Amino acid sequence: MQVLWTSLGVLACASLLSNPCAAETRLGIQPGIGSLEVDDTGDMPFYVGMGFGKARTRLNYALQKTTDAYKVFAGLNLNQYLGAELSFLSIKDPNGGSSIGVVQISSTRLLAAGVATLPLADQFEVGAKVGFANYTTRASSSAATTSSNARYDWVYGVLMTVNFTKHFSVRTEYEGVGLSGAVFDVVTVNGVVKF
């Protein structure tokens, strides 16, 4: 989690340093006056959220299993259409059993992605994301246990957002991670707070 907040801070500083005029406009800084007023009428660039859903794992493109998925994330909107996001995704086997036998699957992933958003109206947005995933996956059975650590692969996804207020929205999201010998598909419903 410390990596998540550190990386988000770096993104925020880079955005402000690359466009100081935009920072003055957003924060309401008046050069030479020495006062700082927050402009509440502008867009809010930062957001955090959390959600839950279901994940499907296919090992070696043959063995399939559906498990619970939990997610927390934070992001930075660079403008109305483009942004960057970091998220932590945890996939857990809820009951230790499955329809395919005694195989148990669990995974944790740190995802970094660019996000493109298209507003359809004041309340609705659609978007897509692409980036990289760093993951640890563990599959265990009564016969053997295998694990893979510190691996990277592509992550991609699509999302739909409903804005209920200026500060709160609900986002439904599909994410896929293509792995060597395994594929993860995750669908989550997330609450998002903007500030």
Residue 146: its pLDDT value, please? 57
Does the pLDDT of residue 39 top 50, yes or no? no
pLDDT at 189: 98
Residue 182 has pLDDT above 90, yes or no: no
- Picking from 135, 133, 72, the residue whose alpha carbon sits closest to that of residue 107 is 135
How far is the C-alpha of 54 from the C-alpha of 41, rounded, in Å?
37
Return the SS3 of 25.
helix
Tens of pLDDT along 134-145?
877 666 665 555
- The 10 Å Cβ neighbour count of residue 34 is 7
**% of the chain beyond a pLDDT of 90:** 41
* Alpha carbon 116 to chain centroid, angstroms: 13
Contacts of 22 (CB under 8 A, 6+ apart): 16
Question: What global pTM score does this model have?
Answer: 0.69
Residue 152's pLDDT is what? 81
| pLDDT tens track for 86-119 | 999 988 765 544 444 455 666 778 999 999 999 9
68-83, pLDDT tens digit by residue?
A: 999 999 999 999 999 9
Domains and their CATH numbers in the chain = 43-194 (2.40.160.20)
What pLDDT sits at residue 52?
A: 96
Q: Which residue has the higher pLDDT, 10 or 57?
A: 57
How high does pLDDT run on average in the chain? 75
